[in-house]
Structure 1
Amino acid sequence: MLDYCLDMPGAYLDHPFGPEHSAVRLKTPTMDKGRIFAEVFTLRGVDVVTLRCETDAALTYREMYPGVVVRGYHCPPAEARYANTMPLDGDVPDAHLLEMADEAYDFIVAKLPKYRQAELRDG
């Protein structure tokens, strides 16, 4: 999951919450610090990922995978509706995890100003 997210244009690895907690940020040439769209870490002995998304999508995924896909771990309440945390142990099919990672990336890209979106597109 981490490698998949890091292959996205403008993605880079950061550890703002400590060395055991990998965050993938989106950065463009004119941004000092990027926005996080994915986090990969171990929670109670289980490898998990937290992915950003639209509120409706977050709720849909939680309904599709009850008790498996949950609100974003450690996200402040205002942010929790825009993030889901789920295990990387196969409870959610890999194809669906990758789809959610793509949606997380697109969600953050869409929040950038148009000129920053163009920077990502033009490399």
Structure 2
Amino acid sequence: MNGSTLQTFAAECAQELPGAQLEHPFGPGWEVFKVRGKVFMLMTEVPGRPVVIIKAEPGEAHALREHNSHITPGYHMNKKHWITLEGGAGVEKKLVKELVTDSYLLVVARLPKAEQPVDPHTYGTSTRAAR
């Protein structure tokens, strides 16, 4: 999928997540998705290329970068904990949905239990177990 389609689909995935909100704290060129005030996904353009920036477990982020040319270290983010996803022929909807959901759950897991909109240990396990 191309970069614009990637961003549209990633935004649709994020908006389906409980408690997710879209904000523009850095101006109109940045779309920032948060849950309970904590960022789990950003979208912008990096010199003409639409990108999606999401949180990932450090080990998984490294493996994703090693095996996918469309995934690079997080643009303007901590390179250990964030990845940048660009559009391309090898980018499939299933991967995008999993990455967005995983990013959201990483953030939710760090929230105080009373503020968690879902249980991060059980949310979406039926869809993610097939990986």
Tell me whether the two structures share a fold, i.e. TM-score over 0.5: yes
Task: Give me the whole-angstrom Cα distance separating, in 2, the residues matched to 1:107 and 1:45.
Answer: 29
Q: Deviations over 1:44-75 (max 9, x none)?
A: 21111001011111111101114x21110011
Q: Secondary structure at the match of 1:121?
A: coil
Which residue identity does 2:56 align to in structure 1?
Answer: C
More displaced 10-residue stretch of structure 1: 5-14 or 88-97: 88-97
Q: 1:90 deviation in Å?
A: 4.0
Extract structure 1 runs of 4+ deviating beyond 4 A.
none
Aligned-residue sequence identity (percent) comes to: 29
Number of residue pairs the alignment of both structures matches? 110
Residue matched to 1:31:
none
The secondary structure found in structure 2 opposite 1:97 is: helix
- For the aligned residues, what is the CA RMSD? 1.6
1:121 aligns with 2:130: no
Q: Which residue of 2 aligns with 1:92?
A: 91
Q: Which residue of 1 aligns with 2:81?
A: 82
Q: Which residue is 1:44 aligned to?
A: 47
Distance across 1 between alignment mates of 2:18 and 2:89: 26
- Aligned-residue offset at 1:43: 1.4
The 2-side partners of 1:41 and 1:91 are apart by 20
Unaligned runs of 5+ in 2: 1-9, 120-131
The one-letter code matched in structure 2 to 1:106 is L
Cα distance in 2 for residues equivalent to 1:5 and 1:56: 23
Q: Gapped runs of 5+ residues in structure 1?
A: 28-33
Find the partner of 1:55 among 54, 58, 62.
58
Q: Which amino acid aligns with 1:121?
A: V
- Work out whether 1:112 is the aligned partner of 2:114: no
Within 1, Cα distance between the matches of 2:89 and 2:54?
Answer: 16
Q: CA deviation at 1:109?
A: 0.6
Q: Distance between the aligned counterparts of 2:88 and 2:71, measured in 1?
A: 12
Give the Cα–Cα distance (whole angstroms) in 2 for the partners of residues 90 and 37 of structure 1: 25
